Amino acid sequence: MPAAEEALNRIVDDLKKKFGDKVLEVVIEPKKIAKVLVAPECIKEVAQYLKSEWAMDYIKGVTGVDLSRLPDKPQEALEVIYHVGSMSSEDLRGVTFSLSTKVSLSNPVMPSLTGVWRGAEMHEREVYEMLGVNFEGHPDMRRLLLPEFWSDKPPLRKDYAVPGRER
The H or E element that residue 85 is part of is strand 77-85
Strands 33-38 and 77-85: unpaired
Query: Is 111 in contact with 137 (CB distance < 8 Å)?
Result: yes
pLDDT above 70 as % of the chain: 96
166 has pLDDT over 80: no
Given this model, what pLDDT does residue 1 score? 52
Mean pLDDT of the chain: 92
Q: State the pTM of this model.
A: 0.92
61-116 pLDDT per residue, tens: 999 999 999 999 999 999 999 999 999 988 888 889 999 999 999 999 999 999 99
CATH H-level superfamily of 3-136:
NADH:ubiquinone oxidoreductase Nqo5 subunit (3.30.460.80)
CB contact burial 44-68 (16+ within 10 A = b; e otherwise)? bebbebbbeebbbbebebbbbbbbe
Q: Taking Cα atoms as reference points, which of 99, 122, 110 lies closest to residue 48?
A: 99
Q: Which of 27-31, 132-136, 147-151 has the lowest mean pLDDT?
A: 27-31
